[in-house]
Amino acid sequence: MSDTLVNVTDLNVHFGTSHVLQDVSVSLGTGRTVGVVGESGSGKSTLAKALVGVVPASGGEIWVDGLDVRLATRRELAQYRRRIQMIPQDPFSSLSPRRTIAQTLAEAIEPGRGRVRPYQDRIAHWLERVGLDASMMHRYPHEFSGGQRQRIAIARGLIIDPSFVIADEITSALDVSVQAQVLELLADIRESLGLTMMFISHNLAVVQHVSDDVVVLYRGVVVEAGPVAQIFSSPQHWYTKALLEADPGSPGFTLDAPAA
């Protein structure tokens, strides 16, 4: 970890009376990928939202790319959000049904006017980069499959060359074979661009696939964090062990134990 791009320390988030994130600390070096894993209610999506400054933190510090997100002014925050990108989960609601793919991508480049023409080459380049045909740019989202739509969402996230990308459950709505292709694409892009990424998922195996480091969240608390190799081979916390053993592919998985 040469230079740290993302540094979250003792982050706390409250929704009303419920304590959604509790003293969460995550740090991430440039060019690395951290996987955030947890089940429903673990607060992993809240962490992502706090990072982009959508959800207000009630305590702690969030430094990303030299900016203190919590204390940033409105303008700083707006600029900051152009440097980081969030790739959303659902390929079906993440693209506006009434806008062409080119219009959607152009909006990412130029949010105000959203002109297509000046950026046509760039859009074509990125569509090809994610494995689609550049001639598809004038089509509407309904003409694409779920996997293709997710590729488009990835292209939109990367087209402005962000310094940090957050991928929130981007493969959970896909069939396994499509998921495998999207993961492969992501691994490829990560390598060629040296992407810094936070990969959020409920699926341990997928996280292991794409991450350098992993953070295990349980009810808003980081129960374990470290390099993937270390966490997966010698988990320390009982919850990490339980998660690992619940994966049907792991040797610890058994269906004989009486249900808890």
Taking CB under 8 A as the rule, does residue 142 contact another protein? Answer: yes
Q: Which of 180, 185, 193, 221 binds another protein (CB under 8 A)?
A: 180
Q: Which of 22, 33, 104, 196 binds another protein (CB under 8 A)?
A: 104
Q: How far apart are CA 42 and CA 83, in angstroms?
A: 27
Taking CB under 8 A as the rule, does residue 233 contact another protein? Answer: yes
Q: How far apart are CA 67 and CA 64, in angstroms?
A: 5
Q: What are the counts of helices (DSSP H) followed by strands (DSSP E) for the chain?
A: 9, 10
Taking CB under 8 A as the rule, does residue 226 contact another protein? Answer: no
Taking CB under 8 A as the rule, does residue 108 contact another protein? Answer: yes
Taking CB under 8 A as the rule, does residue 90 contact another protein? Answer: yes
Taking CB under 8 A as the rule, does residue 248 contact another protein? Answer: yes
Q: Which of 123, 209, 213, 220 binds another protein (CB under 8 A)?
A: 209
CA angle 29, 86, 237 (to 5 degrees): 55
Residues between 39 and 58 with contacts to another protein, criterion CB under 8 A: 39-41, 44-45, 52, 54
CA angle 6, 12, 18 (to 5 degrees): 140
Residues between 110 and 129 with contacts to another protein, criterion CB under 8 A: 111-112, 114
Task: Enumerate residues 6+ apart whose C-beta is below 8 A from 137.
Answer: 100, 101, 102, 105, 120, 123, 124, 127
Q: Which of 56, 71, 138, 253 binds another protein (CB under 8 A)?
A: 253
Shortest distance in whole angstroms from residue 27 CB to another protein: 22
Residues between 55 and 74 with contacts to another protein, criterion CB under 8 A: none
Taking CB under 8 A as the rule, does residue 203 contact another protein? Answer: yes
> Which strands make up the sheet holding 164-168, listed edge to edge?
84-87, 164-168, 197-201, 33-37, 213-218, 221-227
Residue 153 DSSP code: H
Taking CB under 8 A as the rule, does residue 202 contact another protein? Answer: yes
**Residue 222 · residue 216 · CB < 8 Å:** yes
Stretch near another protein under the rule CB under 8 A, chosen from 1-9, 23-31, 131-139, 198-206: 198-206
Q: Which residue has the tokens 């959800």?
A: 55
Shortest distance in whole angstroms from residue 162 CB to another protein: 11
Assigned token pair, 200: 């959020």
